[in-house]
Amino acid sequence: MASTAPVQTGVTTWNLDPSHSSVEFAVKHMMISTVRGRFADVKATVVADESNLVSASVNAEIAVASIDTRAEQRDAHLRSADFFDAGQFPTITFRSTKIERRGDELRVFGDLTIRGVTRQIVLDVTDEGRGRDPWGGERAGFSGTAKINRRDFGLTWNQALETGGVLVGEEVRISIDAEFVRA
């Protein structure tokens, strides 16, 4: 007799816990110091087969208006058409396309879209572990890093310095600490 019960595939959905996660960036200022910032409004999901993490899919969306560099004037400039153009391009998105395991690390390849420009990037990800929270939920933590060239995404504004060089560096270092809750 055939069973009509649903087949357990082991595929689960994990939702980002934004209060225990951060998406930060760092870029050179005047070629001599580093300015750091973060995005406060981030949503993300991971859909994964528990037995095969490399088959997982990751989707994230960041609200550009939530940028915070601890300087309101600079944040307003970053939201303007000179940089992110938050009015026309209110979100940054990431969609994974492939995941590879390298020992204890994961390489998450995906399409990053900023200002309507999509480029493939690679996130180097560390699985930080899992555990049960006091309310019975299951949580998983990951940290990741990537480097991008902001010019590749149409973020080309800059200003030449009298002493040589430019005001804003081209390389942007991305750092992610993410805690997910099993749906």
pLDDT at 97 over 60: yes
CA-to-CA distance for 166 and 87, rounded, in angstroms? 26
Q: What is the pLDDT of residues 112-123, one digit of tens each?
A: 999 999 999 999
**Model confidence, pTM:** 0.90
CA-to-CA distance for 35 and 31, rounded, in angstroms? 11
CA-to-CA distance for 10 and 139, rounded, in angstroms? 16
Q: What is the pLDDT of residues 69-95, one digit of tens each?
A: 999 999 999 999 999 999 999 999 999
pLDDT at 2 over 50: no
If phi > 0 it is left, if psi is from -120 to 50 it is alpha, else beta; for residue 174 that is: beta
DSSP H stretches of helix in the chain:
72-79
What was the pLDDT predicted at 9?
A: 60
Strand-pairing partners, residue 166, are 160
Mean of pLDDT over the chain = 92
| Torsion (CA) 79, 82, 84, 89 in degrees, nearest 10 | 100
SS percent in the chain: helix, strand, coil, step 5: 10, 60, 30
pLDDT at 168 over 50: yes
How many helices (DSSP H) and strands (DSSP E) are in the chain?
1, 11
> What tokens does 28 get?
């050179």
What was the pLDDT predicted at 151?
A: 96
pLDDT at 7 over 60: no
Instruction: Give me the residue spans of the domains in the chain.
Output: 11-182
What was the pLDDT predicted at 52?
A: 82
> What tokens does 180 get?
């997910």
Q: What is the pLDDT of residues 133-158, one digit of tens each?
A: 999 999 999 999 999 999 999 999 99
Share of the chain above pLDDT 70, in %: 95
pLDDT at 1 over 50: no
Integer Rg of the chain from CA: 19
Q: What is the pLDDT of residues 18-75, one digit of tens each?
A: 999 999 999 999 989 999 999 999 999 999 987 788 899 999 999 999 999 999 999 9
What was the pLDDT predicted at 47?
A: 96
CATH number of 11-182: 2.40.128.110
